[in-house]
Structure 1
Amino acid sequence: MAKNTIVLLNGETIQALAMAKALKESGYNIISICDSIDSYGYCSKHVDEKIIAPSIHEHTNLFHEFFVDWLKTNKVDAIIPMNDFSAEYLSKNKAELGKYTKFLIPDYEVFTKGYDKHKLMQICKEWNYPHPLTLDLSLENYEAVAEKMVYPALIKPNITTGGRGFARVTTPKELIEKYPSIKKDYGDCHVQEFIPPGGAQYKVELFINNGELINATVMNKIRFYPENGGSSCCSISIQRDDLVDLCFNILKTIGWYGFADFDLIEDPRTNEVKVMEINPRVPACIRLSLVSGIDFATMIADATLGKPLQKYEYFPGKVLRYMALDALWFAYSTNRFSTSPAWLKLFGKNIYWQECGGGLKAMLTGSLSGLKKQLNPKFREAKAGLR
């Protein structure tokens, strides 16, 4: 029997390393469609075919023309998106692309209820799910909203990734000064109370099929770079059934199905864990779920193709480190020798590396590319609002 072929869309990402390895071990052929050669996913040894295409984010129309033509002449059994842009693209173009292949993405009306940060906060408010105080912003109302908000606060684009476009404000005047330019650069925005540091931060990953929770994992994010609001560089898998139940209930309320990834923050003032956002695709740290026993990669592929699903056994207590960012954290943090797990403990039974899994070339190429991105002034400026 011929192997099924899976396309990793935006396959240049670091999560493609773990996804390709897991899918390969489950007997799938892998095609990676990338917008960069100098990347983790493009260099993975587990990918059977690699294709360079226009950027979905920067050249959406050009990519769409390319992709539809490519699908017409290539047999593809399923597509799995690797970042927000490719997930949104699949949802928006579900009717057309569905003529040629399969993918597990909610219809766009449902998709935006999770992906749009402000819509998600509105749903949380309506259904009394724990979340930060959040108010809508527009060019017509922002001055009035500025007077109603509690401070400090964050201006957030409704649709963005990785904290891009966020701006921390401490007074109504500052909000009024900063909002118009953020609106111009990033589109519709909202303002949200700033949760002070000191509480834990979590990720909850879930897979829903036919309204049933198939598997879930929870991660405690230990270290970040930059420290106050950056990307996670050290996480540990834990057991928190209460957080899984919370996120599952939200997804049922929205009508979501397939995979989803939540970010949550504990408010140190009340110890309440609050929902922050939903990521509609597998995260960069997906390897932590995989090494903890939950094979979301195979689950997504099998469900997309209508195969029976397996409920995996969860083994929490695994640590995942992202050396490229953890090295930067060590260089800049004043807590470098007081963190737990210890930074200098590089190896151990339950310690894994985010960059690994695709071979030495993928690790070195992707790490260098990631370091260049972190040091790029434009990238740092886009994320500077949290500092």
Structure 2
Amino acid sequence: MIKVGILDGQTVQALIVAKQLSKAGFRVILFCDSRLSYGYYTKYAHERLICPSPETQIEEFNNFFLKYIESNGLDVVVPMTDYSAKYLSKNKAVLLDKVAFSIPDYEIFMNGYDKNQLMKVCLNNNIPHPMTIDLSSLEKGSEVMGFKFPALIKPNQAAGARGFKKVKSFKELWKSYETIYKEFGDCHAQEFIPKGGRQFEAQILIKENEVLMSTINEQIRYYPKEGGSSCFNQTVENDHIIEICTKTLRLIKWEGFADFDLIEDPRDGSIKIMEINPRVPACIKASVIAGVDFPKAIVELSLNQPITTYAYKPGNYLRYFSLDLLWLFSSQNKLKLLKSWLNNFFSRKHFFQDGEIMDPVPFIVGAFSGIVKQLDPKFRSKKRGLNKALLFVIEMDMLLLLV
């Protein structure tokens, strides 16, 4: 039986990845940095290992991973986070002799993963993107004529929205820059796209410039509402999005899986590329329920096997229940929004990102781990308004398991 390792297996996306790989006949091994998490308790894993984090303990993780491979063997490895994907790319020359995976070479990887480098590729090739300036190339206190405010300071290599800061002028930008730079490294400034446009996430598997499969999610709701994670998505079709994403991947010579974040600018209706996530995203289950089995295809590509073809059937909904519930509770008109929030809740086209009836334990443990985070004063100070929702989250988590 082919052994497939899932790096950062504690994540919510590890649930559907483990399920699909297990159904395909692979032996699934989770490498987790915590037991108190979604992925660790999925019934679809054959083996679970607690290991150092590839984000905060890179050297320790490398030693652990190499020792495991040498002692136990591993056929394929698939990363769930930016950090484990970066680890594989950076150590590709050594690791490919020991285990198979599909990650671009490091220079190519960084051209996509580094947000500032990606924006330069878009600028030089007339690909729609927000106006961006490289702060590392400027003298502190200087200004760039024509740059639009408000804007966001963004670390070049931070995952998610960590380190992002909204500013209204160059004076405010440079005042905030030093603190962000000290924690996250080089940054860029990017025009802030105003509210009113749609947001999308596109998944593409590409080999030798040929798109093997693709899917798109329209991100309908987020939590927190400003710069948060998507909590309610719908699978859609949009040829233009696939076209500009494919053009970008071909320009940087990307091979394997890529996940794009895009935003529609309400001022002119254009859809702009924001970033590339070089790994399986949290919402990958949306692709699976739409008929496209990316987890299995990634393993097939890694092993240089024929890639199974799939018929993409959009129109399904994916809800990250815990976050979507917090979205509702953070809204001002909760009762008015409740009816629309419940739309498609019991539809056959509606699915839950953070659990399912046939694999309920991850849902319970994952929700509990979220509550533990809310009780942490440092985390709570960054996420105002969550405390009021804690008791209701517990009650609704248990209710959903009974539905």
Shorter-normalised TM-score: what interval? over 0.9
* Bigger Cα displacement from structure 2, 209-218 vs 197-206: 209-218
Instruction: Tell me what 2:392 maps to.
Output: none
Structure 2 distance, partners of 1:336, 1:284, is 26
Instruction: Tell me what 2:397 maps to.
Output: none
Write out aligned runs for 1:296-307 (5 A): 296-307=294-305
Match of 1:149 among 147, 150, 154: 147
Structure 2 distance, partners of 1:374, 1:147, is 43
Match of 1:94 among 92, 95, 109: 92
Q: Is the 8 A contact 1:320 1:354 kept in 2?
A: yes
Q: Is the 8 A contact 2:38 2:366 kept in 1?
A: yes
Q: Which amino acid aligns with 2:130?
A: P
Structure 2 distance, partners of 1:354, 1:135, is 36
RMSD over aligned CA atoms reads 1.9
Alpha-carbon distance, 1:72 to partner? 0.9
* Bigger Cα displacement from structure 2, 334-343 vs 264-273: 334-343
Q: Is the 8 A contact 1:81 1:87 kept in 2?
A: yes
Q: Is there any run of 5+ residues in structure 2 with no aligned partner, and where?
A: 385-403
Alpha-carbon distance, 1:339 to partner? 5.8
SS at match of 2:231: strand
Q: Which amino acid aligns with 2:182?
A: K
Alpha-carbon distance, 1:382 to partner? 6.8
SS at match of 2:36: coil
Structure 1 distance, partners of 2:249, 2:372, is 36
Structure 1 pair 25–279 and aligned structure 2 pair: CA distance change class (3 A): same
Structure 1 pair 264–167 and aligned structure 2 pair: CA distance change class (3 A): same
Structure 1 pair 344–380 and aligned structure 2 pair: CA distance change class (3 A): same
SS at match of 2:21: helix
SS at match of 1:218: strand
Instruction: Tell me what 1:315 maps to.
Output: 313
Q: Is the 8 A contact 2:328 2:338 kept in 1?
A: no
Greater relative CO, 1 or 2 (CA 8 Å, sep 6+): 1
Q: Is the 8 A contact 2:32 2:48 kept in 1?
A: yes
Structure 1 pair 146–179 and aligned structure 2 pair: CA distance change class (3 A): farther
Show CA shifts across 1:44-84 (max 9, x none): 10000000001111111111111111111111110000111
* Bigger Cα displacement from structure 2, 18-27 vs 146-155: 146-155
* Bigger Cα displacement from structure 2, 207-216 vs 140-149: 140-149
Structure 1 pair 371–275 and aligned structure 2 pair: CA distance change class (3 A): farther
Instruction: Tell me what 1:236 maps to.
Output: 234
Show CA shifts across 1:84-138 (max 9, x none): 1000000001111112111100000000001000000000000010000000113
* Bigger Cα displacement from structure 2, 133-142 vs 307-316: 133-142
Alpha-carbon distance, 1:373 to partner? 3.4
TM-score using structure 1 length = 0.95
Count the aligned residue pairs.
382
SS at match of 2:119: helix
Structure 2 distance, partners of 1:89, 1:31, is 18
Match of 1:246 among 215, 226, 244: 244
Q: Is the 8 A contact 1:259 1:280 kept in 2?
A: yes
SS at match of 1:175: helix
Q: Is the 8 A contact 2:291 2:313 kept in 1?
A: yes
Q: Which amino acid aligns with 1:116?
A: D
Write out aligned runs for 1:175-190 (5 A): 175-190=173-188
Structure 2 distance, partners of 1:256, 1:366, is 33
Structure 1 distance, partners of 2:138, 2:307, is 50
Q: Is the 8 A contact 1:12 1:40 kept in 2?
A: yes
SS at match of 2:221: strand
Structure 1 pair 377–238 and aligned structure 2 pair: CA distance change class (3 A): farther
Structure 1 pair 246–48 and aligned structure 2 pair: CA distance change class (3 A): same
TM-score using structure 2 length = 0.91
Structure 1 pair 157–53 and aligned structure 2 pair: CA distance change class (3 A): same
- Identity score, percent: 44
Alpha-carbon distance, 1:298 to partner? 0.4
Structure 1 distance, partners of 2:145, 2:12, is 42
Instruction: Tell me what 1:62 maps to.
Output: 60
Structure 1 pair 336–128 and aligned structure 2 pair: CA distance change class (3 A): farther
* Bigger Cα displacement from structure 2, 273-282 vs 203-212: 203-212
Q: Which amino acid aligns with 1:361?
A: V
Structure 2 distance, partners of 1:343, 1:252, is 39
Alpha-carbon distance, 1:379 to partner? 4.3
Instruction: Tell me what 1:359 maps to.
Output: 359
Alpha-carbon distance, 1:378 to partner? 3.8
2:49 is equivalent to residue 51 of structure 1: yes
Structure 1 distance, partners of 2:101, 2:195, is 38
Structure 2 distance, partners of 1:252, 1:359, is 39
Structure 1 distance, partners of 2:133, 2:102, is 32
Q: Is the 8 A contact 1:135 1:145 kept in 2?
A: no
